[in-house]
Amino acid sequence: MSSNQEADAGAQRQQTTPPAPPSSQEVSGISLAMRVPPFWRDQPLLWFCSFEAATAELKRSQAQLAQMVIAQLEKQDIQNIADLIYSPPEQEYYKAIKDRLISIYEESNSAQTKKLLTQVELGEQKPSQLLRRMQQLNKDKFPESTIKMMWLEHLPPHVQSVLAVSEAFQSKTTLEDLALLADKMMEVHTSSQHIAAVATPIVPPPPPAIIPPPFPAPAADTQFLIAEIRRLSLEVAELRSRPYNNQHQHTSRPRRRFQSRPRNASQSRSRKNSPMPYCFYHHRYGMDAKKCTPPCSFKPINATEN
C-alpha cells in the first residue's frame, strides 16, 4: 500500500470515529456559567447567596471559588479587590473577596431603614413583590405588625378595604396570604381597566379655535398721516403770519366780516379817527363799497395794476 492510500485510509477512520464525550468537569463548567449571573452590584449579598447555591455540589476549594467569582466581575469591581488578587491570602481567599465586595456595595442598616421608610413604592410591581422587598430591607429591625401596616399604606384603597374585611373573617390569615390575595385583586382590577379602555373609543378633542391677532396699521400709512399733519400745521401757521392787507390784495372778492354798526356818533367818530389804513366803507365792503371817507388808502385792483 502506497503512502497516499494510507493517508486516505487514516482520514476515513478519523471521519468515522465519533468525538469523545465531554468530561464531567466540562459539563459542570458549562452548567455553572449558565446558572451564575454576572455580579449584582446593587445586591451583592444576594448574589453571593445565589453563587454559593450554584457551586455547592462542585466541592471547590477557596482559591477555585475565588477565581470563579473574579470571572464574573467587571473592571471597577476587580479594581476594588486588586490587592487581594496581587497578594492572595493563604487561607479563606474566597471569603476575603466576598467580605470586601459586600462591605463596598452592600447598603448599611441605616440606609436600608431610610429606604424602607421613605423610598419604597408599589409602582409596577405586585403587592407580594413589594412585601418581600420591604422584608429584605427590614432585616428584623421592625416587628411584622409594623411591616404589615407600612405595606398596606402603599396599596390602593379598594385593595386595603378588601384585605381588612378578609382578615376580619379569618383570624389566622398570614401576611403572605394577604399578599397573594392582593395580587389577585390587582390583576382583576388591571384587566377590567384594560377592557374598559379598549371598549370605550377615544374621541380626540376638537382643535382649539384660532383667533387671528388684530391687524396692525402699516408703517407706511402711519408715516403718511404724520406727514399730512405736519403739512397742514405749517399751512395754518403760514396763514396766521400773513399781513391783513395781503389777504385783500390777492383775492378778487375779499371775504366780508360781520361787524355791528356803531350805535352812536361817538363810536363812528372814533372809527374814523382810528389809525386803520381803510375807511369804514372799504373796511367793511371792500371792492363793493359805494362810498369812501377820507383818510382812506384803499385802491382798486385795476388802479394798482395801472
One domain for residues 58 and 71:
yes
* Percentage of residues of the chain with pLDDT beyond 90: 20
Q: Write down which residue in 105, 139, 171 finishes a domain.
A: 105
Residue 41 lies in a domain: yes
Identity of residue 254: P
Q: 264 lies in a domain?
A: no
Query: 125 is in which domain, residue-wise?
Result: 109-195
Residue 132 has pLDDT above 60, yes or no: yes
> Residue 63 is placed in which grid cell?
482559591
- Residue 266 binned pLDDT confidence (cut-offs 50, 70, 90): very low
139 within some domain: yes
Q: Report the predicted TM-score, pTM, of the whole model to 2 decimal places.
A: 0.45
The verdict on 148 and 163 lying in the same domain is yes
| Across 90-102, average pLDDT | 93
- pLDDT band with cut points at 50, 70 and 90 for residue 72: very high
Q: What is the DSSP string of 178-222?
A: HHHHHHHHHHHHHHHHHHHHHHS--PPPPPPP-PPPPPPPPHHHH
> Which residue among 167, 195, 223 closes a domain?
195
Gap between the Cα atoms of 95 and 69, Å rounded: 11
Q: Is residue 210 part of a domain?
A: no
Whether residue 155 sits in one domain with residue 116: yes
Q: Has residue 227 been placed in a domain?
A: no
Q: Give the confidence band of 141 by pLDDT, cuts at 50, 70, 90.
A: confident
Do 100 and 118 fall into the same domain? no
> Which of 147, 163, 195 lies at the terminal end of a domain, its last residue?
195
Q: What number of CA atoms fall less than 13 Å from residue 183's CA on the CB side?
A: 13
39 & 114 share domain: no
In this structure, the answer to whether residues 189 and 122 fall within a common structural domain is yes
Same domain (yes/no): 90, 132: no
What is the count of structural domains for the chain? 3
Greater pLDDT, 207 or 184 = 184
For residue 85, being part of any structural domain is answered with yes
Q: Is residue 222 part of a domain?
A: no
pLDDT band at 267 (very low <50, low <70, confident <90, very high): very low
